[in-house]
Chain A
Amino acid sequence: MAVTIIYSTSQKYPLYQMGNPQLRIFRPPFFLTLVRPGKEQPPDVVQFRIPMVMTKFDVRNYVEKIYNVPVGAVRTRIQYGTNKKRNHLNQKVKRPDYKVAYVQLAQQQTFEFPDIFPKKDVKSAEGSVEEMQEKFMEDEEQRQKPDPRRGGVTEWFGL
C-alpha cells in the first residue's frame, strides 16, 4: 500500500460488500498532530488534528494500536479554513481545512498539554561572540536606565 494521499476512500481502498474480509491497512500513511485545545476541555480529552479521510473508528484504532492508549469516545468535526484573507496581489488565499478529533481517554486517565518551551537560562561559552554580545547588551541597558538618585522623576522636570 503506497503513501499516496488518499483523496476518497472509495477509490483507493477495495470495495466493501457484505461478506468481504475486514479491511486492514499496513503502514498507515496518516499522521496525527496533538494540539493544545483552544477552548477549555475536560481533563480526559485529548485534541488531535487528523487527515480529512480518517474516521472516528480509524482514530480509535490508530491511537489504541500504535500508542497503546485506551480510548473511550472519539468525536470529530471539520474546521473550515478561511478563504477571506488576501495576499499582496489582492488574491484570495485559502487556509486549508482540517479535521479535529476529540479523543476521550478510558480508564479514568487524564492528560494535560505540557509546556514544551520552558525558559531555560542559557549561559554562553566563555570568550565566545554570544557572551560578548550579551555583555554589551547588558551594559547598554544599564546606560539607558535613568539616574536612580532622581527617585523616578523624569528628566523633563528641570534640575
Chain B
Amino acid sequence: MAATSAGRVLTLCRQFQNAFRISTTLSAQQSTVTLTKGRSYPHRLPSTLLSSSWSCNLDLAVQCRPLHTTISRRGLEEFFDIPENWGEATVKSGAPWTAKQLRTKSNEDLHKLWYVLLKEKNMLLTIEQESKRQGQQMPSPERLKKIDRSIRRLDTVVKERENALRLLQTGQERARPGDWRKDVFGRIYWYRFREHALPWYMNRRYKRKRFYTPAFVAPHLRLRLEKYLRAKTRKQKKESENQAVLKEKFPQMQAKSQ
C-alpha cells in the first residue's frame, strides 16, 4: 500500500511534497526526518514501511540517490479507489499541481508523475461511468477537474523545456516545420508541413490543393480590401468625433482618453 499511497499522495497533495524529496539528493537520515515531519493521514503514509527502506541506505554512501518506491502490483484494482472510500459521499483530495511547482521537478519526476496522474484519471473516469450506471452520485467530482488541470500544466512545462532545448541546440523556433503560403482566397497563412511517402509532384491530392490565388479572385480581393478600408475609416472617424465632443465638454483635457 505504501507505493500506491505514495502515488496518490504525489498526485494531488502538494503539502506532501516535502515528504518526497525524490529529485534532491538527500542523505537517508534526513529523508526519514522529512517523512515523519510531513503532516499526513496516518494510514496513508506508513512511515515504518518507508523508513525501513530508507534505513537500509544509511550504511551506503550518503550522497547516493534514495531508493525509489517499488511499483505497485495491485493490477486492475488501480482502476478503483481504495476500498475504504467506496460508498463515501466525499473523498478528500488536495490542490492540483501548479506550473510553478512542476517547473522545479526533474524530467524523470515529471515522467513518473505523468503516469501517476494518468492512472488517477483512469480511476476517476471509471468511478464516474459506474456512478452513471448505478444512478448514484460520484464522490467528489471536482477531482476530475483538478487532474485535468495538473495534466495540462505538466504538458505545458514539458513543452517549454522541449522548446528551450530545441532553440538552444538547433535554433528552430517550431517543432513542426511550416511555411507562409497563400490560399485560394488570397489570404496568407502558416501552412504546417505533413510527412508524405511521395514527393509533392507525384501526390495527386496535394496538387489539387492550390497555394496560389487564381486571377478571377481579384475582384473579390478588391471588394474585401474596400470593406476593410471602409471599416477602418469609420472607426477612425468615430474616434475623432468622440474626441471632439469630449474636448468641447472638458476643454482642459490633454491626454487621449480610452
Contacts and interface: CB of A to CB of B under 8 A. Distances in A.
A15 B203 CA distance: 15
Contact of A2 (B71, B73, B119, B159): B159
Given A3-B152, A14-B195, A33 B87 contact: no
B75 A36 contact: no
Interface in B106-155: 111, 114-115, 118-119, 121-122, 125-131, 133-134, 136, 151-152, 155
Interface in B45-79: 71-73, 75-76, 78-79
Interface stretch (A77-85, A113-121, A136-144, A147-155): A113-121
Contacts of A36: 130, 133
A106 interface: no
B126 A67 contact: no
A59 interface: no
Nearest to B125: A33
A90 interface: no
A116 B86 contact: yes
A60 to B, nearest CB: 14
Contacts of B134: 116-117
A117 B197 contact: no
Majority DSSP secondary structure for residues of B touching A: helix
A122 B136 CA distance: 16
A31 B118 contact: yes
Contacts of A157: none
A33 B126 contact: yes
A73 interface: no
A43 B171 CA distance: 56
B155 A116 contact: no
A117 B128 CA distance: 12
A117 B129 contact: no
B80 A116 contact: yes
B88 interface: yes
B80 A111 contact: no
Given A3-B152, A67-B76, A31 B122 contact: yes
Contacts of B76: 34, 46, 67, 69, 111
Nearest to B130: A116
B198 to A, nearest CB: 11
B207 interface: no
Interface in A78-98: none
B80 A120 contact: no
B244 to A, nearest CB: 47
A67 B155 contact: no
B193 to A, nearest CB: 11
B130 A120 contact: no
A114 B78 CA distance: 12
A15 B125 contact: no
A107 to B, nearest CB: 11
B197 to A, nearest CB: 6
A66 interface: yes
9 contacts: A32-B79, A34-B126, A35-B133, A67-B78, A111-B76, A116-B127, A117-B130, A118-B86, A120-B87
The list of the 6 closest CB pairs from A to B, nearest first, reads A15-B195, A34-B79, A3-B155, A33-B125, A120-B87, A34-B126
